[in-house]
Structure 1
Amino acid sequence: MDVEMLIEKYQLSDAEAAALRFMQQNITPFAKVGIRDVAKYSYVSTATIVNMAKKLGFSGYSELVFSFQNNQTSDNAPSDLVTAEEYQQFTQLLQKYRKKRIMILASGFSQNLANYFSEYLNLYGFRATANSHLEFLRQSVEDEILIIMISHSGETQRLIELLTIAEKNHIECLAFVGERHSKIGSLATLTISTKTHATKGFYEFAPNLFFGTALNQFELLMSHSLQTLFKK
């Protein structure tokens, strides 16, 4: 959790910032600090701490503490979901489009991932939207907009059509797909494959691992990129 970035983004008061900094320094997976202790040593009221937690999007102090204690990083995450080259290329794309537009396109259940990706990116100051502004794809916006596509099969026809238009206009695309050698995977600038796509019908009630795997890959990539971009 990048405390200083959150303080700036949510315009926390001096009192709220003091409490958050104290929590960052003293709350660990092995040490939980009560709200009254934070209030005492930060010289603020418990109400200030609760309000600060809600400003950050948490239900209250307990959920904020849980976030500090379970702040996962790529150091203890699975190492086989993303390659070193993918980490590097993803970070380069985010750096390039840090102050530009990012449009996330998906359909069906993948739209839930698109909404999450958009909210996550906006939280850290990126200009992302999960709504389609297709006029951008038909304009000369090379290097001004990045497309992120999410498709389990990598063969979603509507997305292929849009990606083809984008490619003609030299618009870069980052794709999360279940099959790397799918049409979308082959056209994208950078393809992150979950390697989970299989033809339906072989196993009844088989688990669909695409959405969970893609979400984990996105979390790992974002964690690495944010550390690189904001800790220079």
Structure 2
Amino acid sequence: MKFFDLISKDNISINSTEKRIVEYILENYSSFSKMKITDMANSLYISSNTIIRLCKKLGYSGFSELKYDIISSNNLHEGINLNSDHISIHNSIIQTLSLNSSEAIHEAAELIHNSNRIVFFSLGLSQYSALSFCKRIQYFNKMCLVPKDRDENILFANNLGKGDLAFMISASGETDIIKKIIGIVKTKKVKIISITGLSQNFLSQLSDLALYAYLKEYHIKNHDLTSRLGFNIILDLIFEKFTKLQK
């Protein structure tokens, strides 16, 4: 899946408009064969040239080559039969799996295996994914901690030491508290794993290992209700690799 490899490369930096284009493609991935560049441009209230510039930034000659790549990828999954109620969940799973290589998942499991203590830095809904993973890791006598609020996150960041591993989870990777925490963590010279939504963000750029989840954003009255299913998928994959290392 060339498209997923390209959008998750560390050297690809996309702006907010380009992120909207990528998210639109992911949301309409299964029906992209019927998509016209003018349809996309009109839906996103942007020019066709903006879409073409993103295609070229990703390494395609233009929209046609991008479309061909996505159609080819869809043909590999055309045997999967889903009703409309399941499409959103299916997209979260497929896109998240496609964004992260097996090597990256294995590296994350090894970093956890070789660390003395894992500290998860996460807030809001993202914290639930960290808590579930941490509880399972503790059964292997691994010290795994999830600070519960902003003050505790800052306290634990300041107390990181040799042999520790910082695991940071954030949908945007751009909140003020995340920027403050990673600023502290970087001074401690410990390894950093991050999981963020799809974009080259502040957190992913400063991490030793950056993983990405497909998150379809959903807000009500300024409250973030975006599903963290993508985070859970990645953490489950890491846990499976981690258990194999214990044997």
Instruction: Tell me whether the two structures share a fold, i.e. TM-score over 0.5.
Output: yes
Indicate whether 1:148 and 2:164 are aligned: no
Q: Which residue of 2 aligns with 1:220?
A: 237
Question: Normalising by the residue count of structure 2, what TM-score does the alignment of the two structures yield?
Answer: 0.52
Q: Which residue of 2 aligns with 1:137?
A: 157
Identity between Structure 1 and Structure 2 (%): 18
Q: Higher relative contact order by CA 8 Å / sep ≥ 6: 1 or 2?
A: 2
Q: Distance in 2 between matches of 1:177 and 1:127?
A: 23
Q: Deviations over 1:191-215 (max 9, x none)?
A: 11013365969xxxx9834x11110
Q: Which residue of 1 aligns with 2:207?
A: 188
The 1:112/1:139 distance shift into structure 2, 3 A limit, reads: closer
The 1:149/1:197 distance shift into structure 2, 3 A limit, reads: farther
- Report the CA distance between 1:217 and its aligned residue: 1.1
- Report the CA distance between 1:138 and its aligned residue: 3.2
Q: Unaligned 5+ residue runs, structure 2?
A: 1-92
- Among 102, 117, 131, the alignment partner of 2:118 is 102
Indicate whether 1:179 and 2:198 are aligned: yes
CA root-mean-square deviation: 2.7
1:1-232 alignment, distance < 5 Å: 80=98, 82-97=100-115, 100-131=116-147, 132=152, 134-138=154-158, 141-142=161-162, 144-196=163-215, 208-209=226-227, 211-227=228-244, 229-231=245-247
Q: Distance in 2 between matches of 1:216 and 1:140?
A: 27
- Residue correspondences, number: 146
Q: Distance in 2 between matches of 1:198 and 1:140?
A: 32
Question: Normalising by the residue count of structure 1, what TM-score does the alignment of the two structures yield?
Answer: 0.55
- Higher mean Cα deviation, 189-198 or 77-86? 77-86
Q: Deviations over 1:53-93 (max 9, x none)?
A: xxxxxxxxxxxxxxxxxxxxxxxx96536312212311220
The 1:112/1:181 distance shift into structure 2, 3 A limit, reads: same
Q: Deviations over 1:147-183 (max 9, x none)?
A: 1111111112112111111112212111111134111
Q: Unaligned 5+ residue runs, structure 1?
A: 1-76
